[in-house]
Amino acid sequence: MAHPKRKTSKTRRDKRRTHYKAVAPTMSTCQNCGSTVQYHRVCGECGHYRGKLAIEKEAAQ
């Protein structure tokens, strides 16, 4: 196994890692209830996905 001859400097290490950018997920509004939902996910409030019921939610008592 190869071993490094010299220590990799902080600048060189950080330059190698610059291509990654953290991005916030894209959000949309639910067609049924209007709450904010992440794209391609079932709505946590009403259980709908793309206008159809995907998960039946229990009524709060």
State pLDDT tens for residues 1-59: 789 899 999 999 999 888 877 888 999 999 999 999 999 999 999 999 998 999 887 76
Whole-number Å distance between alpha carbons of 3 and 38: 45
Domain boundaries, the chain: 26-61
Whole-number Å distance between alpha carbons of 44 and 57: 9
Place of tokens 């996905």: 49
At 38 the three-state DSSP class reads strand
Whole-prediction pTM:
0.56
Angle in degrees, CA 55, 56, 61, rounded to 5: 140
What local confidence, expressed as pLDDT, does residue 1 receive? Answer: 78
